[in-house]
Structure 1
Amino acid sequence: MRDGGEEEVDQVDWIDIPAGLVRRGTPAGEMAAVARRYADTHVPEAWYRKEAPRTEIHLPAFRIARTAVTVEQYALFAADTGRPAPRGPADHPVIGIAWEDATAYCRWLGERIGGEVRLPTEDEWERAARGDDGREFPWGDEYRTGLANLVDLGVGTTTPVGSFPDGASPFGVLDMAGNADEWTSTLYAPYPGAPDDVPVTEDWAFDRHITRGGAFRHDRDLARCARRHGAYEEDLAAIGVGFRLAAPPAAA
């Protein structure tokens, strides 16, 4: 019998994402303009080109967690499976988590709550962030300091999950920009129809699974809903890599 505290940690605040279109990516013709818009971040145009082309994709319904997995939630899993205890305040997103450990957490939690739990696909993540339109950021087309925990906020570390409700996505999903970069289940590959100069693989990445959203140490370019990146450094805590959960839609 689990105690009440453990049961509370097991709870997931799911948001239902209805079936619908995601306007995935960025039109190839807009790449130069995107690079100019974020020129102060010193990100070359080539890094954005893997977002092309813009494609409308229909996704079935799914659920996604309102916030990332917290230190408190992950700590119970770590204790139960003999993994190192995570560091940080209980209500902050857990970071420094390898993709394999994130997927193991999903399996473990699914067994405890009696249902499938997984990482979101890259397309699901983008739909949950963008909603039905092609907005630049989860909250709209204009970047505003104070709607996400990114480098311009000056905090320099994580903040409690859900600290920026005004930065919510159209579906009410929180922290999809900043705080913790988030694993998806998708391995990097160019989108179908991508520009010829987009790399076929990212062999330089520490892990080639796509991450989304950016972390507290990142600039606003990584907060864009279309921005595709990965874990390019081995120190996953230093670069702020965490994860959030996804699941099939609730039974009718």
Structure 2
Amino acid sequence: MLTLVTVPPGSFHRRLENDRFQTVHITKTLAWQERPVTHAQYRTYLDAIGSLADPVLEIWEGGDWKDGPLFSAANIHGDDHPVVGVSYNDALSFISWISERDGRRYRLPTEAEHEYATRAACSCARECTALRVPQRTHEGRAWPDAFTACWQTADANPNPFGLYGLNGVLWQWCSDWYAPYPDSGVESDPQGPAAKPAQSFWKGRILPAGRIIRGGSFSYPEWYGRCDNRHFSFATDRNVNLGFRLVFECD
């Protein structure tokens, strides 16, 4: 069984692309995985399904994604460290397996649920004011030393909900497709587009549709970890700065 922490319902204001704000209500009590899925937990799953796959992970280097370490080589820093290099599709397979094992309907958090949980450690009422100015750059934040250092800090400092490593350690998958927020004043338990968008728009570029990732990571400037920052990745991506955690609806 996973170690879970109960997060009560609540509300927050999120910033829309047109610099207006939207009230978001989270109406469900959720049990959150206290920490991201660990290497030991994921290895148990791989052993249970008899997987011998050892894919090549991607690493950010020289301003581009390049082939990096094998999955096995990237996940050698301790059983209690977050697993890295798990794609969105891999995460769904893990969720299916562990839900059957534990008799619970685990899932990934939505983007809104992730922001709400992250804001527990932020005093901002609307737009996030934490980490607005980059305080560090990619320099000195290379794999794997920066990852282990960030996790050691996060592992000792839970947020007010009792959650560890929600931001600043590694990007974490959310369930939503990446798309502009709906242009409305109030949303309750938003889940993103119901169907796969035709494409994603990112910094002036048109790209294939991707899934939301949240939380920033050891390999990005610190401000990427602020509670309102959005990012996305493709469902098949296996990156050394990308992991996941699960939630379970208590209601």
- Fold conserved between structures, TM > 0.5: yes
**Match of 1:181?**
171
Deviation at 1:91, TM superposition (A): 2.0
Number of residue-to-residue matches in the alignment: 207
Instruction: Give the secondary structure class of the aligned counterpart of 1:112.
Output: helix
Instruction: Give the secondary structure class of the aligned counterpart of 1:131.
Output: helix
- Give the aligned residue type for 1:72: A
Instruction: Give the secondary structure class of the aligned counterpart of 1:67.
Output: coil
**Match of 2:221?**
219
**Match of 1:5?**
none
Instruction: Give the secondary structure class of the aligned counterpart of 1:163.
Output: helix
Deviation at 1:206, TM superposition (A): 6.5
In structure 2, distance between residues paired with 1:206 and 1:234: 12
In structure 2, distance between residues paired with 1:150 and 1:242: 21
CA deviation vs aligned residue, 1:126-162 (integer Å, no higher than 9, x gap): 11111397639xxx84449xxxx98577363322856
Residues 200, 220 of structure 1: CA spacing in aligned structure 2 closer, same or farther, 3 A cutoff?
A: farther
**Match of 2:63?**
none
- Give the aligned residue type for 1:187: W
Residues 66, 177 of structure 1: CA spacing in aligned structure 2 closer, same or farther, 3 A cutoff?
A: same
Deviation at 1:233, TM superposition (A): 10
**Match of 2:25?**
58
Deviation at 1:230, TM superposition (A): 0.8
2:157 maps to 1:156: no
The higher relative CO (CA closer than 8 Å, separation ≥ 6) is in 2
**Match of 2:14?**
24
In structure 2, distance between residues paired with 1:103 and 1:159: 25
In structure 1, distance between residues paired with 2:50 and 2:142: 32
**Larger mean Cα displacement after TM superposition, 93-102 or 18-27:** 18-27
In structure 2, distance between residues paired with 1:132 and 1:163: 15
2:4 maps to 1:14: yes
Deviation at 1:170, TM superposition (A): 2.9
- Give the aligned residue type for 1:247: F
Deviation at 1:27, TM superposition (A): 7.6
Unmatched tracts of structure 1, length 5 or more: 1-10, 30-52
**Match of 1:169?**
159
- What TM-score do you get using the length of structure 1 for normalisation? 0.69
- Greater percentage in helix: 1
In structure 2, distance between residues paired with 1:150 and 1:113: 41
Unmatched tracts of structure 2, length 5 or more: 55-70, 185-196
Choose which of 107, 125, 130 in structure 2 pairs with 1:118.
107
Residues 113, 235 of structure 1: CA spacing in aligned structure 2 closer, same or farther, 3 A cutoff?
A: closer
- What TM-score do you get using the length of structure 2 for normalisation? 0.69
In structure 1, distance between residues paired with 2:173 and 2:137: 17
The answer to whether the 8 A contact 1:21-1:132 is kept is: no
Q: Cα RMSD between the aligned structures?
A: 3.4
Deviation at 1:63, TM superposition (A): 1.6
Residues 71, 155 of structure 1: CA spacing in aligned structure 2 closer, same or farther, 3 A cutoff?
A: same
How do 1:1-252 and structure 2 match up within 5 A? 11-25=1-15, 28-29=18-19, 53-59=20-26, 60-83=28-51, 84=53, 86-87=71-72, 88=75, 89=77, 90-131=79-120, 135=124, 141-143=129-131, 151=138, 154=141, 156-157=143-144, 158-159=147-148, 161=151, 163-164=153-154, 168-193=158-183, 201-202=199-200, 205=207, 208-231=210-233, 236-238=238-240, 240-249=241-250
